[in-house]
Structure 1
């Protein structure tokens, strides 16, 4: 690997990227890192500006990130977060539930992800759990990740905090819950966020009830988009009563937004920007291609 193509998710290692002989640099911008708790926004901003002078292309996972990166990088391509479609579709044919669900009654409302206050709307969950004690919330994920001093999830009889589970186990839980939830607070971080679990939930065959997020604007025909606690409540009731979005549209979207399909699109971009037959080792953008 005398001249690797460097692909980074971390903008503050621009100096390292610049120092390594390479055939090109790619920045994959998956979050507004500077908006996360305990992160120095100025450091992230400076790193992205520096990286923008080195990398020829930036892939961004939300329209907000795409628009912001356009001012920094010569080529910016919007590609949302995706799913392992074949893997999560196994949830549609799993007859035996995990033992952790044995004592949790239906209906079960599932959330999978980091249980941190800047990512999960605890007030919304608590409000809905109080209004509907017969609905049982199943929360899977590490508590306090990225925000260890934040408020913890609500402690109620119908809120079950199972902690993190291995990636390979997730379809088992999805197979035996009734609806998937994305209760997301609105803040600077989530305004730039495309939820990783969105297409995973859909591929598993679960109806999705979620907060209305900017990044999901073009996908509102695939899930029950909710702008308030009352609307979230109404949509949960609809989903649990059997109302569904267009399954053909969902399956088509999951195919388009699978890892394989996105990789093929990204590879085409890379082939265009970094043609292998003409690349010679370089350091930074200033060294020209042969």
Structure 2
């Protein structure tokens, strides 16, 4: 085992800049740089250790209904807890065994398999040993545009291509020509294709009539069952007691900074609070965050978001209205609902399609909806509507849709 330990230690210094960037932004990454070639003796030791760990996992979960594998891409402990992590946990909660693969130089320092939660394993397996995962009995592999090609490592798997955003969203990390090529390959070869928003789904149907609509969901209990402790969350102490209009998520070019500025100036009695990382530096180009009633708190851990959400008098998603944002299923939407917070958005097709969401058709309408929403926080019927919608859109429901569809796809593939 000394050889293996030396190998892992030596590789621990590689590509640290990529790891640090991914930890802050949550941007998906690909390990296109070739990994160090292992000598046969080292590879044999590492493979033996992985096989032993996998034996233990298979024995421990012999009654599991199935196995789900996520290829390397978005890390686990990134600032923004996103769709892949939420789906992974939801699969585990309904009984599936999940292997969530991480990049080589992952922030969690995982080597081999590490049980993060019941039936939920974080993993890093070297490229030369990745075929050990082929021992998993007919796993379901959940892929995205930036890692679909990894699914070739598991030829016996049922592969899902989950199309979660317009390709332009990923151009900060990858060339659009590559994204289009990867997308086309995934559309041709995936056993199952899903879209996270209605506009995306409609486009998928043009070449994959079997594509499914699988919007984002919510870990309902994480937000609905939060109970106030009386302690004011960090950063809100100086503005407690004033009407608070809040947003959490990435600060990026898809935010409508002019709308934020307009609303903050039109409602000087309100505090506008933003929580999340500055994804692309776009906030620095706006004067909105220089206004006295606009506060940016930076990123906060996912575990702390319910405490902040509970302090919002109005929750908002102030995105620019565009083809890209019409195709976004905002992860935070159902979280806002589960927390029982009145919701105001611009005229976004996907987010505005759900009950209880107040839509402003223009800047004036957006401000008017905020004023209306400020009176709804104590409206029991309205809050019940929000929470009912959230319960109908849990992550457990989303992954059960995938399980059923994958079973049908597997049956069709077996017949062929």
TM-score by length of 1: 0.86
Q: 1:206 to 1:149 in 2, by over 3 A?
A: closer
Contact 2:352 / 2:358 at 8 angstroms: preserved in 1?
Answer: no
Structure 1 residue aligned with 2:11 = none
Q: Please identify, of 161-170 and 222-231, the stretch whose mean Cα deviation from structure 2 is larger.
A: 222-231
Structure 2 residue aligned with 1:263 = 399
Structure 2 residue aligned with 1:16 = 150
Contact 1:48 / 1:72 at 8 angstroms: preserved in 2?
Answer: no
Note the alpha carbon deviations across 1:16-52, whole angstroms, 9 max, x for none. Answer: 3235423221111111132455353332222111111
Aligned-partner Cα distance in 2 for 1:37–1:12: 11
Q: 1:98 to 1:22 in 2, by over 3 A?
A: same
Contact 1:135 / 1:158 at 8 angstroms: preserved in 2?
Answer: yes
Stretches of structure 1 lacking an aligned partner (at least 5 in a row): 279-284
Structure 1 residue aligned with 2:301 = 166
Q: 1:186 to 1:63 in 2, by over 3 A?
A: same
Count of paired positions: 275
Structure 2 residue aligned with 1:253 = 389
Aligned-partner Cα distance in 2 for 1:14–1:174: 35
RMSD: 2.3
Contact 2:333 / 2:351 at 8 angstroms: preserved in 1?
Answer: no
Aligned-partner Cα distance in 2 for 1:126–1:236: 14
1:128 aligns with 2:263: yes
Structure 2 residue aligned with 1:281 = none
Structure 1 residue aligned with 2:205 = 70
Aligned-partner Cα distance in 1 for 2:307–2:207: 42
Structure 1 residue aligned with 2:364 = 230
Aligned-partner Cα distance in 1 for 2:251–2:237: 22
Structure 1 residue aligned with 2:292 = 157
Aligned-partner Cα distance in 2 for 1:112–1:103: 19
Q: 1:22 to 1:5 in 2, by over 3 A?
A: farther
Structure 1 residue aligned with 2:224 = 89
Note the alpha carbon deviations across 1:213-237, whole angstroms, 9 max, x for none. Answer: 1213431x32111111101111111
Note the alpha carbon deviations across 1:86-132, whole angstroms, 9 max, x for none. Answer: 101134544332132110141011110101122x1111111111122
Q: 1:13 to 1:91 in 2, by over 3 A?
A: closer
Larger relative CO (CA 8 A, sep 6+): 1 or 2? 1
Name the SS for the 1:214 alignment partner. Answer: coil
Q: Which consecutive aligned stretches of 4+ in structure 1 deviate over 6 angstroms post-superposition? A: none
